[in-house]
A and B are shown apart, each in its own frame.
Chain A
Amino acid sequence: MLTSKCLRGVVTGYPLAINATIINITEVDYNPEFITRIIPKLDWEVLWRAADSIGHSDGLPQTIEPKFEENNEFLKKVHRVLLEVDIEEGNLVCPESGRRFPISKGIPNMLLTEAEVQ
Chain B
Amino acid sequence: MKLKVLEGHLGEISGFTKPKVEYEQYETPSHIAAVALYTMQTQFEALESKLVLDAGCGPGMLSCGASLLGAGTVTAVDIDGESLDILKENIEFTEVDNIDIIQCNFLCPEMYRCENYFDTVVMNPPFGTKNNAGIDMKFLKMGLDLSCDSVYSLHKSTTRSHIQKRIKEWGVKGSVIAELRYNLKSSFKFHKQHSKDIAVDLWRLHHS
Contacts and interface: CB of A to CB of B under 8 A. Distances in A.
B137 interface: no
A67 interface: no
B79 A4 contact: no
Interface size class of A (residues with CB under 8 A): 20 to 34
Contacts of A33: 49
B72 A38 contact: yes
B84 to A, nearest CB: 6
A53 interface: no
Contacts of A26: 97
Q: Which of B75, B84, B104 has the most CB of A within 10 A?
A: B104
Contact of B104 (A10, A12, A28, A105): A10
Main secondary structure of the interface of A (DSSP, over half): loop
B101 interface: yes
B75 A4 contact: yes
Given A33-B49, A107-B84, A108-B102, A9 B97 contact: no
Contacts of B73: 1, 3, 34, 83
Contact of A4 (B49, B102, B105, B108): B102
A37 B103 contact: no
A1 B98 contact: yes
B102 A107 contact: yes
B51 A10 contact: no
Given A3-B73, A8-B113, A83 B101 contact: no
Contacts of B156: none
Interface in A1-42: 1, 3-4, 8-12, 14, 26-29, 31, 33-34, 37-38, 41
A64 interface: no
Contacts, number: 71
B5 interface: no
Contacts of A105: 85, 88
Nearest to B91: A106
B113 A14 contact: yes
Interface in B78-118: 79, 81, 84-85, 88, 97-98, 100-105, 108, 110-111, 113-114, 117
Given A10-B104, A10-B114, A109-B81, A83 B98 contact: yes
B103 A111 contact: yes
B72 A106 contact: no
A106 B98 CA distance: 13
